[in-house]
Chain A
Amino acid sequence: MATEVTFPRDETTRAEAATHEWLSRTWATPQGLIGWLSEVDHKIVGRRSLITAVAFFALGGLLALTMRVQLAKPDNNLIGPDLYNQLFSMHGSTMMFLFAVPVMQALGVYLVPLMVGTRAIAFPRLNAFAFWVYLFGGVMLYVAFALNIGPDTGWFSYVPLSGPQYSSGKRVDFWAQMITFTELSSLAIAVSTICTIFKQRAPGMSLQKMPLFVWALLVTNFMVCFAMPAVMIASTYLLLDRSIATQFFNPAEGGDPLLWQHLFWFFGHPEVYIIFIPGLGIVSAITATFSGRPVVAYPLMVLSLLATGFLAFGLWVHHMFATGLPRLGDSFYTAASAMIALPSGIQIFCWIATMWEGRIRFTTPMLFVIGFVVVFVLGGLTGVMLASVPMDLQVHDTYFVVAHFHYVLIGGAVFPLLGGFYYWFPKMTGRLLSERLGKWNFWLFFIGFNVTFFPMHILGLEGMPRRVYTYSAQLGWGSMNLLATTGAFVLAIGVLLFLVNVARSLRSGQRAAANPWGASGLEWATDSPPPNYNFAHIPVAETSEPLWDHPHELPVAHGLRLDRRELLLTSVGEASPDLREPSADPSIWPFLAALAATFLFILSIFTPWGLYIGAVPVAITLIGWFWPRPGESIEREG
């Protein structure tokens, strides 16, 4: 039967088809190996980063399981102290530097351009470069570990232990250089993400209409800019102390080991918030969708995110209460640390109010959000306890602290992240994850987590120190440790189920429509998975919940060029349309530049001349990167 088609309708359809065809050609994914290495699409780069981060999460988890097996019974001699030192150092460094920060930034790389309604991330080549640097840095650390030169001085690598006197060999150098890799990567992504948020928002998406997830990523990436330089300086100075005999941390020559702690924690404390603020963004997105209404008190939510970002920089000294600082300093940092409970509390109450006011759908993402609220509040409460100096001095360096930060970090970041994976997986792949497996995944993870880490509070109060490879039977810590180890296996099965769910759903999961959850954000306005160019027409954000307010017809703009990669730039505050700027085409140079940087970093572990020798290929590849090629989008006259 012939379909009845009216003339104007046909005209529109044909014009639409032509638009899609042009855009597909202009924004095409490059082919072949060179093409694969030249990829600059934020979705593909983001996906690669997410997969890499999850792989490191799994590796870090296996290291943790090995430690739990060792600690399962007293006087165990499965693993000796030297390997145990490497295990906890690798575990901490992996989870903080190779998993938590990269995974959150990667989620931003994938989602932020879609959420703000643009076709590409700002500086796509820089973003691709950041991924390669991160990958190479992580691989370097694991190769070193496999060769028995893995770091063994803990994730914060305190001097003098990590200094030239007490740590000969190259273990600490590999650790310090891994920092350089990951922080370089992180900073590059921060600049890309901030510029995308500031300049590429859909017309009409003023700052006060921006999704809370985007706000969270904005705050996080700003924090990266101001926190990461401290650890880069610290690790560089440490390398220099070890390689060319500078004296930064050597008290015999006027240096000071406490300088290391200040530099490290000036980064290290904000780091914690860098990890969990994106988690707060995820929670807001999921809560709104599954409560069927916008998050209550949007301005308060935004102000809380900003307040958390600012306060995070005034807390670092609470990691150093045991170092004998002046009393006044102690009181100040106690007050500041307790203050962070205010913005966190405000947000928790806003989410509860949102759920209260809405109609909750208990999907897997929502379960993870509820799990987050429970676990994070418990972690927050022990945080308030630790902010008090007398308490901190009692439990410093015990398992109480280990319990606290796992509650905060897994609670604040991993629960939301897993929820986020369930929530955005259909957008990324076009298929839904299984809800049945998802619920098993959640309950095993939730129960396993609490069984693992709750006993550690008690162990800590009983005086069990962190970072010991074994303990004697007379101390009576055996049963609690065995319980924690049992929990760790349940937790691991939970994670395994997640991976199984992903593998199965990729092959045979239920197909997802553009907006499978009935959400309101712009990322759901385009296909699942989105085409290379994200949006055939740039959406116009007339309201803050575009898809709820316009369920059938999306207001859009036209007029961007189809024959070259072009983006709409808008003003920072109001997002009024301003320019049509070209966006960079795929290029192999970011990959080559990352290789050159890797060469420089690794060489300078072995010789101080590495910096000068390595600078040559870095300069060459950077010039290659920026040298214009005719026919590139960026070179075509408008």
Chain B
Amino acid sequence: MQPKFVLDLGDLPDHGFGTRSLTWWGTVGMFAIESTTLAIGAAAYLYLMGQEPHWPPVAKNPDLSVSTTVTLLLLLSVIPNVWLEKRAEKYDLPAVRIGMVLMSLIGAVLVVLRLYEFSHLNVRWDSNAYGSAVWGLLGLHTAHLVTDLVDTVVLAILLFTRHGNHARRFVDSAENAMYWNFVVIAWLPVYAIIYLLPRWL
């Protein structure tokens, strides 16, 4: 079969942000999978809750102090994160470097706080099904927190190497920021289920 040339693609750009980028779609695919995972974890918690006359079936609710600190910090972190995303789209390397270092530090603080949060759940994972469900759900979110921290740190280091000033790094940074927004948004229902729901009941 003979080719008949009807279109010239030579002038198309070689990268783009948001829905134009392939990795953006890959990341959104991951969101679909991870949101489902969290939703299933939450469903398991709610299902077990439906089997119990009293919830939680232990003496004390999980503490609000650490968890609320984590929540506030997560929400506040969105501000530098969105700023970083915008600077990445403007190819502003110095700003993106600062932003990525800042987000790495915030992530590290949050991971430490999260470990502390586990010890304030007032129940062990092996005490009863309630404990298992709480640890399970918090564990799932923590997996995201840690993954994103590793991601952010590696990318931040990369930005200070000779690979830093490259169009792809800006796309990567913008998408990494999008992932962090997801981690924050995904946290809110988890927080509500673990910490608020037992108090409202």
Chain A interface residues (CB < 8 Å from chain B): 122-123, 126, 187, 190-191, 194-195, 198-200, 203, 225-226, 228-230, 232-233, 237, 240-241, 244-248, 250, 253-256, 259, 262-263, 266, 514, 525, 536-538, 540, 547, 550-560, 566-569, 572, 577-582, 619, 623, 626-628, 634-635, 637-638
In Å, the complex CA distance between A559 and B14 comes to 12
Chain B residues with CB under 8 A of A255: 48, 128-129, 132
**Contact A579–B19 (Cβ < 8 Å):** no
With contacts A554-B3, A557-B8 taken as known, whether A254 is within 8 angstroms of B14 at the C-beta atoms is no
Contact segment of B21-29, B88-96, B99-107: B21-29
Closest to B5 in A: A558
**B20 touches A (CB below 8 Å):** yes
Contact segment of B30-38, B61-69, B73-81: B30-38
**Contact A232–B37 (Cβ < 8 Å):** yes
B53: min CB distance to chain A, Å: 10
In Å, the complex CA distance between A255 and B126 comes to 11
Chain B residues with CB under 8 A of A572: 19
**Contact A191–B26 (Cβ < 8 Å):** yes
Chain B interface residues (CB < 8 Å from chain A): 1-16, 19-22, 25-26, 29-30, 32-34, 36-37, 40-41, 44, 47-48, 51-52, 57, 125-133, 135-136, 150, 154, 158, 163, 166-168
Q: What would 6 A/B residue contacts be, using CB atoms closer than 8 Å?
A: A194-B25, A556-B6, A557-B5, A578-B12, A579-B15, A619-B150
Question: By CB atoms of chain A within 10 A, which of B6, B41, B133, B158 has the most?
Answer: B6
A635: min CB distance to chain B, Å: 7
Closest to B16 in A: A579
Q: Indicate which residue in B3, B13, B29, B52 contacts A638 across the interface (CB closer than 8 Å).
A: B13
A30: min CB distance to chain B, Å: 22
Closest to A638 in B: B14
**Contact A191–B29 (Cβ < 8 Å):** yes
Q: Indicate which residue in A123, A245, A248, A566 contacts B44 across the interface (CB closer than 8 Å).
A: A248
**Contact A555–B4 (Cβ < 8 Å):** yes
Chain A residues with CB under 8 A of B132: 237, 240-241, 246-248, 255
Q: Indicate which residue in A247, A547, A581 contacts B128 across the interface (CB closer than 8 Å).
A: A247
**Contact B37–A553 (Cβ < 8 Å):** no
Chain A residues with CB under 8 A of B13: 579-580, 638
**Contact A256–B129 (Cβ < 8 Å):** yes
**Contact A559–B158 (Cβ < 8 Å):** no
**Contact B33–A225 (Cβ < 8 Å):** yes
In Å, the complex CA distance between A245 and B41 comes to 18
Chain B residues with CB under 8 A of A536: 3
**Contact A256–B128 (Cβ < 8 Å):** no
**Contact B47–A259 (Cβ < 8 Å):** yes
**Contact A246–B126 (Cβ < 8 Å):** yes
Closest to B49 in A: A254
Chain B residues with CB under 8 A of A569: 16, 20-22
**Contact B14–A580 (Cβ < 8 Å):** yes
**Contact A556–B129 (Cβ < 8 Å):** no
**Contact A226–B36 (Cβ < 8 Å):** yes
In Å, the complex CA distance between A572 and B133 comes to 39
Which are the 6 A-B pairs with shortest beta-carbon distances? A638-B14, A559-B10, A559-B9, A557-B7, A246-B132, A255-B129
In Å, the complex CA distance between A136 and B150 comes to 26
**Contact B26–A254 (Cβ < 8 Å):** no
With contacts A237-B136, A623-B154 taken as known, whether A555 is within 8 angstroms of B36 at the C-beta atoms is no
Closest to B131 in A: A247
In Å, the complex CA distance between A57 and B174 comes to 44
A604: min CB distance to chain B, Å: 14
In Å, the complex CA distance between A422 and B70 comes to 58
With contacts A229-B40, A248-B133 taken as known, whether A123 is within 8 angstroms of B3 at the C-beta atoms is no
Q: Beyond A263-B40, A552-B1: 16 further Cβ-contacts under 8 Å?
A: A123-B22, A187-B33, A237-B136, A246-B126, A253-B128, A254-B48, A540-B7, A552-B2, A554-B1, A554-B3, A558-B9, A569-B20, A569-B22, A580-B13, A637-B14, A638-B13
Chain A residues with CB under 8 A of B12: 559, 568, 577-580
Chain A residues with CB under 8 A of B16: 569, 578-579
Closest to B6 in A: A555
In Å, the complex CA distance between A537 and B166 comes to 28
**Contact A256–B6 (Cβ < 8 Å):** no
In Å, the complex CA distance between A583 and B20 comes to 15
Chain A residues with CB under 8 A of B21: 569, 579, 581
**Contact A259–B15 (Cβ < 8 Å):** no
**Contact A525–B1 (Cβ < 8 Å):** yes
With contacts A537-B5, A558-B9 taken as known, whether A226 is within 8 angstroms of B47 at the C-beta atoms is no
**Contact B3–A556 (Cβ < 8 Å):** yes
**Contact B9–A122 (Cβ < 8 Å):** no
A37: min CB distance to chain B, Å: 23
A617: min CB distance to chain B, Å: 13
Chain A residues with CB under 8 A of B11: 559
B59: min CB distance to chain A, Å: 15
A560: min CB distance to chain B, Å: 6
In Å, the complex CA distance between A566 and B6 comes to 19
**Contact A627–B47 (Cβ < 8 Å):** no
Closest to B130 in A: A254
Chain A residues with CB under 8 A of B32: 225-226
In Å, the complex CA distance between A152 and B130 comes to 29
Chain A residues with CB under 8 A of B1: 514, 525, 547, 551-554
Chain B residues with CB under 8 A of A637: 14, 166-167
Chain A residues with CB under 8 A of B29: 190-191, 194-195, 225
In Å, the complex CA distance between A248 and B133 comes to 7
In Å, the complex CA distance between A194 and B52 comes to 41
In Å, the complex CA distance between A32 and B86 comes to 45
Q: Indicate which residue in A253, A547, A568 contacts B129 across the interface (CB closer than 8 Å).
A: A253
Chain B residues with CB under 8 A of A623: 154
Chain B residues with CB under 8 A of A250: 129
**Contact A556–B5 (Cβ < 8 Å):** yes
Chain B residues with CB under 8 A of A566: 14
**Contact A229–B36 (Cβ < 8 Å):** yes
Chain B residues with CB under 8 A of A568: 9, 12
In Å, the complex CA distance between A228 and B34 comes to 11
Q: Indicate which residue in B25, B126, B158 contacts A627 across the interface (CB closer than 8 Å).
A: B158
Q: Indicate which residue in A200, A245, A577 contacts B7 across the interface (CB closer than 8 Å).
A: A577
In Å, the complex CA distance between A83 and B15 comes to 57
